[in-house]
Structure 1
Amino acid sequence: MRLSRAFQPMLKETPAEAQIVSHRLMLRAGLVRQTASGIYAWLPAGLRVLNNIARIVREEQDRIGAQEVLMPTLQSAELWKRSGRYDAYGPEMLRIRDRHERDLLYGPTNEEMITDLFGGAVKSYRELPQTLYHVQWKFRDEIRPRFGVMRGREFLMKDAYSFDSSYEGAVASYRRQMLAYLRSFQRMGVRAVPMVADTGPIGGDLSHEFLILAPTGESGVFYDASLEEQDWLAQSVDLDDEASLEAFFGRVTGSYAATDEMHDATKWETVPAERRREGRGIEVGHIFYFGTKYTESMGISVSGADGAPFFPQMGSYGVGISRLVGAIIEASHDDAGIIWPEQVAPWRAAILNLKPGDQATDAICETLYASAPDALVYDDRADRAGVKFNDADLMGHPLQLIVGPRGAAAGRVEVKRRATGERSEMSLDEALALIASGT
């Protein structure tokens, strides 16, 4: 993308309504714009980040055998009345009546709909297990939406739902999701710690929430440092072997981790002092096992091996994709702006042309840009160099490829790494190789 042609409305001043770092930087960098209370339009750069996060989540869901579907945003109230949650959910649910006087709702979650879809198609234990997921917009009418996309009313979420014939199978599905989540967050370049959680209004008796560690997090956290040291991508786990999944799960849950609400001071004392960590965290994901809560309440059964009907065991697994954009910024920024981890950055590198119109400078910039136009943003604007440097830092591109007349005359490119501030000079061929390497 050539920045001179981009729809990239950056702000010099911080809007008064922005109370936290991620909200301020997302507005200033032109990632989003508010259209109503707690509702945001995603502009091109912000949408690229959103799509990158969703892509990673999808790939890790597919890796564990989950299958993607797409459910509508509007749901029939009858489904929620069957489960008993329609009246119990409260004022956060946006209720709607259409022209035919039918009661609808804008989905805050999808347990009822997926259970109904499952029940209409699966009739035998031979068709189990099944795990279905989708990436869809949700709406919860927060009484005080604030902090930008961190606590908005409309948000993008990945929610998955597992159906199993036994408790043991349901726990295995839960453990696969635990692994998928840890791998997803590691690929996004953030530290997310799984913590035992209250099941809340969804119900059930097995639940973990995932918190990204950030100084501005809304929850106090206590955790064993061993959880930070694990390389989840390198974990050798046989997804079809319950013993392998159990061993993995034991490694995760065997290390202490808790929010303020669930903190156990006695257990905390058993963690070696040198491994105790305290901080703040932002919840970005939540997984639940809740057995037959929905299949039984909605009358969804399948036939067993003996021909007798039974209610499948279920779990649900949510991750806030739009919330993650804000959480990553809260965890990765400095006074100059965003510091994007490479996997989620809108563009991998920015080319800064310090003197548009200079023949040698333009030629090197065009050669760099032509090598990977989808991964690069080219600042070809006529602005001063200082403006380009400031905007590149604000936008948080992992690499800045800086080309000025003096360097161009020698065939040299200056490279700045946003995360460390490290600068180095290299030849055009070396810069092209750096772009191609993806590192």
Structure 2
Amino acid sequence: MRLSKFFLPTLKETPAEAQIASHRLMLRAGMVRQQSAGIYAWLPLGLRVLNKVANIVREEQNRAGINEILMPTLQSADLWRESGRYDDYGQEMLRITDRHKREMLYGPTNEEMVTDIFRTYVRSYKQLPVNLYHIQWKFRDEVRPRFGVMRGREFLMKDAYSFDLDKESAVKSYNNHFVAYLRTYQRMGLKAIPMKADTGPIGGDHSHEFIVLAETGESQVFCDKAWVETDVLENPLVKEKDLQPFVDWATGMYAATEEKHDPANCPVPAENLVTARGIEVGHIFYFGTKYSEPMKAAVTAPGSETVTVHMGSYGIGVSRLLGAIIEASHDDAGIIWPESVAPFKIGLINMKVGDATCDAAAEDLYAKFEAAGVEVLLDDRDERAGVKFADMDLIGLPWQVVIGPRGIANGMVEVKNRKTGEKREVTVAQALAELSA
């Protein structure tokens, strides 16, 4: 992509409404624009990252054997009355009446709708387990939306749902999702820690939330330093068919939010206890028959009796994850994207547009990166060097390749690693080989 043709409305000044780093940098980098309180338009740079994040979530859900569907944003109020949640959910639910006076709502979550889909088609225990997910926009009318995409009213969410014959089987589905979440966050360059959690309006009696450590996190957390210093997915228990021992081991490593941490009775020695800030990026629940019983979602069991199925739900805030990644990975100059979610891998900077040698080298290297399948953003603008460097640091692409008249005359370019700040002069061929790998 050529920057001269790419819509990238960067800002030099920080908008007054931006209170945290991710909100500030997403606005300055031209990723989003606020349309009303807690509702954002996603601009080209932001949408590229949003799609990368969603694709990683999708790939790990598919890897875990979960089937993708797509449910609508609008739901019938009658479904929510069946479960008993329509009047209980509160003012966060946006209620709508259509032209035929039918009561509808903009879905904040999808337990009722997916249960209706399940009960329509599944009749026998032989069809179980059933695991379904979708990635869809949600709306919750927050009383005070703030912090940009971290706490907006409209947000993109992956929500999955499991249906099993009994609690034992349902816990196996829960464990499967638990491990899928750890893999998902790891691929995004995040260290996510599962913590026992309250179930809130979703319901149920078994729940974990996943917390990403970041200096600007919204809550104080305490955990065993093993969470920070080890790759838990390298534990051999992950490879076992039965994931329960791994989940027991993982949740057995101490982790607690500030309100649940008891310093006097903490099981972790002081020298092994990490105190940090954290951001919630996912929440999983097992809630048994909370929805299936009132909505009559049942199957015929092996003994021919009718059994109400056990359910779980599993949410990841896809759009919220962008804010969490930035909070965990930025500096004073801007964003530092992990390669897996970066909008482009390379920022190719032509330092002297109009110079025949620089133009030819930039075009040649750009074409070769593209041919190698590398996503590259060519800064071909007729701008000052300082502007180009500042914009590249701001948008946070993992690598910068700088073509200047002095270096290219000797067949050399400068390669900068955005994360470390390291700069090296290498040959054009070497830059192409290393960054195309």
TM-score by length of 2: 0.97
The alpha carbon displacement at 1:203 in A equals 1.1
- Residue 418 of structure 1 deviates from its aligned partner by 0.6
C-alpha distance in 2 between matches for 1:251 and 1:63: 22
| Aligned residue type for 1:153 | R
Moved over 6 A (4+): none
> Conserved in 2, the CA contact under 8 Å of 1:196 and 1:262?
no
Equivalent residue number for residue 393 of structure 2:
393
Amino acid at match of 1:194: P
In the TM superposition, residue 52 of structure 1 has moved relative to its aligned partner by 0.6
1:361-394 Cα distance to aligned partner (Å, 9 max, x none)? 1222112211233611000100011100000000
Corresponding residue for 1:64?
64
For 1:106-255, list aligned pairs within 5 A.
106-236=106-236, 241-242=241-242, 245-255=243-253
> Is residue 352–residue 405 contact of structure 2 (8 Å, CA) maintained in 1?
yes
Q: 1:314 to 1:264 in 2, by over 3 A?
A: farther
Map Cα deviations across residues 339-379 of structure 1 (whole Å, 9 max, x no partner). 11111111111001100122221222112211233611000
Measure how far apart 1:228 and its partner are: 1.9
Q: Shift of the alpha carbon at 1:35?
A: 0.7
Question: Would the aligned equivalents of 1:197 and 1:262 in 2 still touch at CA under 8 Å?
Answer: no
1:233 and 1:67 map into 2 onto residues whose CA distance is: 23
Partner Cα separation in structure 2 for residue 385 and residue 262 of structure 1: 51
**Match status 1:351 vs 2:348:** yes
1:337 equivalent in structure 2? 334
Q: Deviations over 1:14-73 (max 9, x none)?
A: 111111111110000000001111100000110010011111111111111001000000
C-alpha displacement of 1:240: 7.6
SS in structure 2 at match of 1:88: coil
Aligned 8 A contact 1:183 1:232 in 2: no
Residue number in structure 2 paired with 1:2: 2
Does the 8 A contact of 2:182 with 2:192 survive in 1? yes
Read off the aligned partner of 2:229 and give its amino acid letter: E
CA drift at 1:224? 0.5
8 Å CA contact 1:203–1:290 kept in 2: the answer is: yes
Q: Aligned residue for 1:285?
A: 282
- In the TM superposition, what is the alpha-carbon distance from 1:221 to its structure 2 partner? 0.3
Residue equivalent to 2:357:
360
Give 5+ residue unaligned stretches, structure 1.
none
Structure 1 distance, partners of 2:297, 2:22, is 43
Q: Secondary structure at the match of 1:109?
A: coil
**Secondary structure of the equivalent of 2:157?**
strand
- CA change 1:255–1:240 in 2 (3 A) is closer
- Cα contact 2:196–2:209 (8 A) shared by 1: yes
Partners in 1 of 2:294 and 2:228 — Cα distance?
A: 40
SS at match of 2:220: strand
- Superposed CA RMSD in Å reads 1.3
Percent identity of paired positions between Structure 1 and Structure 2: 62
Q: Secondary structure at the match of 2:223?
A: strand
Contact 1:192 1:210 in 2 (8 A): yes
Structure 2's unaligned 5+ residue stretches are none
Task: Give the conservation status (yes or no) of the 8 Å contact 2:238–2:246.
Answer: no
- Give the AA of the match of 1:85: R
What's the offset of the Cα at 1:286? 0.4
In 1: Cα distance, 2:24 partner to 2:299 partner: 51
